[in-house]
């Protein structure tokens, strides 16, 4: 069916009757094309995409070099036996590990973020001989068994017990935490110490790992405080357990550095990438040290899947890294993120509904409240704002879960231009004026 032949009424009848529910309400637009930082509907509406698809199209939609790579790869080398290795896989492994600090030297390529976290958790259990996994209370690591068990933001109801040994720490939230110093500033260190005292009390003495995001995106774009990840690493070292960092959304330039771990000064035992690495194709990576990889080998670690080290996504991942480095997109992410964050902060003078702005590179959170003094969230107004922004041509990706129903997550492609950020800020300001003053 061509774009011009789409019957909208029939389209939605079939969609609503044939597509299974997976947790999201469908945006009531039929998306037929995408290019750069925009997506287009069947009716010709142009929408500025501040979600990068599902936070994945790092260098923009339908990038011509990515398209060419996909076509050439599909025409020459589509899929292999999992035990066979092809040049695109080796090429990506070399490029990726060369960009990472020493101690992240061995890599496996998989399909999704959940799968990469599953691999990492299983590897940590295998090499430590322990089974307990510590996550953060507003984390999101995936929907597969072990990854879901350490996802605390949503998705825990209706299916019985989670994986045994799933323990939780309080998520650092500078805006809302009750842990405060005498001067009112956030006392994340005491909060972390208190959290670990509870974990230690619950543990059966079989701690294997901690898994953590540098920015808890689904938790409301919560950025780890300065020094937090270093302190977490010390807690892991004291207990002899592994630190897994999940950079599904923060990796490959998104946060104003090639990887967020660089900004935070920590080399984890295991690093997980996904989303941004494949620019929309299903590609993830698990990177660890030679020592941990060798221990896994010795202990018969197994994560043999159909699409491990597939050539087509590997070729795309390699091209993504080339584009990010060549086009200086890390610096662009930093500059455009500051532009966006500063623009939103300036709006706080005119719109008291903006409770907080959180920004690290091109990961930006905008929290909507009823009252700045009480910080009471206003998910209804936030939902209305999202609807009005979409009407004016901006998809700003409101989180649709109760805990953070008033927070917008913004993560446009890191190839976005200064003028496109200005365009988005103008739409956001117009939408606020329409919702609050008209």
Q: Which is catalytic among the residues 132, 187, 246, 310?
A: 246
Query: What's the pLDDT tens digit per position in 409-437?
Result: 999 999 999 999 999 999 999 999 999 88
Q: Which is catalytic among the residues 115, 213, 269, 420?
A: 213
Q: Tell me whether residue 246 is one of the annotated catalytic residues.
A: yes
How confident is the prediction for the chain on average, in pLDDT?
Answer: 94
Hey, where are the domains in the chain?
3-59+329-437, 66-326
Q: Which is catalytic among the residues 122, 269, 409, 420?
A: 409
pLDDT at 223: 96
Give residue 398's pLDDT band: very low, low, confident or very high (50, 70, 90). low
Overall average pLDDT of the 235-240 stretch:
97
Which helix (H) or strand (E) segment is 353 a member of? none
Q: What is the DSSP letter of 30?
A: -
Q: Does the pLDDT value for residue 3 go beyond 70? A: no
With contact defined as beta carbons under 8 Å apart, do 380 and 426 qualify? no
Q: Tell me whether residue 7 is one of the annotated catalytic residues.
A: no
**Side by side, which strands form the sheet with 207-212?**
106-110, 284-288, 270-273, 242-247, 207-212, 132-136, 166-169
Under CATH, which number does the domain 66-326 receive?
3.40.640.10
Q: Does the pLDDT value for residue 150 go beyond 90? A: no
Q: Which is catalytic among the residues 115, 196, 249, 269?
A: 249
Separation of alpha carbons 242 and 68, rounded Å: 40
Separation of alpha carbons 369 and 354, rounded Å: 6
Residue 77 main-chain phi, psi, to 5 deg:
-155, 100
pLDDT at 113: 94
Which helix (H) or strand (E) segment is 36 a member of? none
Which residues have C-beta within 8 Å of that of residue 216, sequence separation ≥ 6? Answer: 136, 138, 139, 140, 153, 171, 222
With contact defined as beta carbons under 8 Å apart, do 139 and 171 qualify? yes
Residues of the chain above pLDDT 70, percent: 97
Query: What's the pLDDT tens digit per position in 238-262?
Result: 999 999 999 999 999 999 999 999 9
- Which of 139, 100, 50 lies closest to 362 in space, CA to CA? 50
Residues of the chain above pLDDT 90, percent: 85
Q: Tell me whether residue 213 is one of the annotated catalytic residues.
A: yes
Q: Does the pLDDT value for residue 404 go beyond 80? A: no
Q: Tell me whether residue 196 is one of the annotated catalytic residues.
A: no
Angle of helix 329-347 relative to helix 418-437, nearest 10 degrees? 20
Q: Which is catalytic among the residues 233, 239, 275, 381?
A: 275
- Which of 32, 41, 424, 422 lies closest to 408 in space, CA to CA? 424
Q: Tell me whether residue 409 is one of the annotated catalytic residues.
A: yes
pLDDT at 153: 86
Q: Does the pLDDT value for residue 2 go beyond 70? A: no
Q: Tell me whether residue 275 is one of the annotated catalytic residues.
A: yes
pLDDT at 28: 87
The CATH fold of domain 3-59+329-437 = 3.90.1150
Annotate 299-322 with DSSP letters as a single string: TT-----TTTT-HHHHHHHHHHHH
Overall average pLDDT of the 60-73 stretch:
96
pLDDT at 173: 96
Q: Which is catalytic among the residues 49, 115, 118, 140?
A: 140
Angle of helix 228-239 relative to helix 188-202, nearest 10 degrees? 30
- Which of 116, 233, 189, 174 lies closest to 360 in space, CA to CA? 174
Query: What's the pLDDT tens digit per position in 78-117?
Result: 999 999 999 999 999 999 999 999 999 999 999 999 999 9
Q: Does the pLDDT value for residue 332 go beyond 90? A: yes
Query: What's the pLDDT tens digit per position in 16-27?
Result: 999 998 877 888
Overall average pLDDT of the 275-297 stretch:
97
Overall average pLDDT of the 353-360 stretch:
96
How long is the chain? 438
pLDDT at 155: 81
pLDDT at 402: 58
pLDDT at 4: 61
């Amino acid at each position: 069916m061509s774009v011009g032949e789409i019957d909208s009424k029939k389209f939605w009848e079939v969609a609503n009757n044939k597509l299974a529910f997976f947790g999201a309400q469908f945006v009531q637009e039929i998306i037929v094309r995408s290019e750069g930082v925009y997506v287009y509907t069947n009716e010709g509406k142009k929408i500025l995409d501040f979600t990068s698809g599902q936070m994945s199209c790092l260098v923009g939609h339908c990038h011509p070099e990515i398209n060419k790579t996909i076509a050439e790869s599909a025409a020459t080398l589509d899929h292999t036996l999992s035990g066979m290795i092809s040049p695109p896989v080796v090429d990506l492994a070399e490029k990726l590990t060369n960009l990472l600090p020493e101690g992240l030297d061995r890599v496996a390529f998989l399909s999704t973020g959940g799968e990469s976290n599953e691999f990492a958790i299983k590897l940590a259990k295998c090499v430590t001989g322990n089974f307990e996994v510590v996550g953060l209370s507003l984390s999101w690591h995936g929907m597969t068994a072990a990854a879901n068990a350490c996802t605390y933001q949503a998705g825990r109801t209706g299916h019985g017990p989670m994986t045994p040994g799933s323990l939780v720490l309080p998520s650092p939230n500078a805006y809302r935490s009750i842990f405060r110093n005498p001067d009112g500033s956030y006392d994340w260190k005491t909060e972390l110490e208190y959290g670990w005292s509870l974990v230690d009390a619950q543990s059966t003495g079989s701690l294997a790992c901690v898994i953590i995001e540098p920015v808890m995106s689904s938790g409301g774009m919560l950025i780890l405080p300065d020094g937090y990840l270093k302190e977490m690493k010390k807690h892991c070292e004291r207990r002899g357990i592994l630190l897994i960092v999940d950079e599904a959304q923060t990796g490959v330039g998104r946060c104003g550095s090639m990887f967020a771990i660089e900004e935070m000064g920590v080399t984890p035992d295991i690093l997980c990438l996904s989303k941004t690495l494949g620019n929309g194709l299903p590609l993830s990576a698990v990177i660890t040290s030679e020592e941990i990889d060798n221990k896994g080998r010795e202990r018969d670690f197994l994560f043999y899947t159909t699409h491990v080290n597939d050539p087509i996504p590997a070729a795309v991942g390699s091209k993504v890294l080339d584009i990010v480095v060549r086009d200086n997109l890390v610096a662009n992410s930093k500059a455009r993120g500051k532009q966006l964050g500063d623009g939103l902060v300036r709006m706080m003078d005119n719109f008291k509904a903006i409770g907080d702005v959180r920004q690290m590179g091109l990961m930006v959170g905008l929290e909507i409240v009823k009252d700045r003094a009480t910080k009471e969230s206003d998910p209804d107004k936030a939902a209305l704002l999202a609807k009005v922004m979409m009407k004016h041509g901006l998809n700003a990706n409101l989180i649709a879960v109760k805990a953070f129903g008033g927070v917008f997550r913004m993560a446009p492609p890191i190839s976005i231009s200064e003028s496109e950020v200005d365009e988005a800020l103008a739409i956001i300001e117009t939408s606020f004026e329409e919702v609050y003053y008209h």
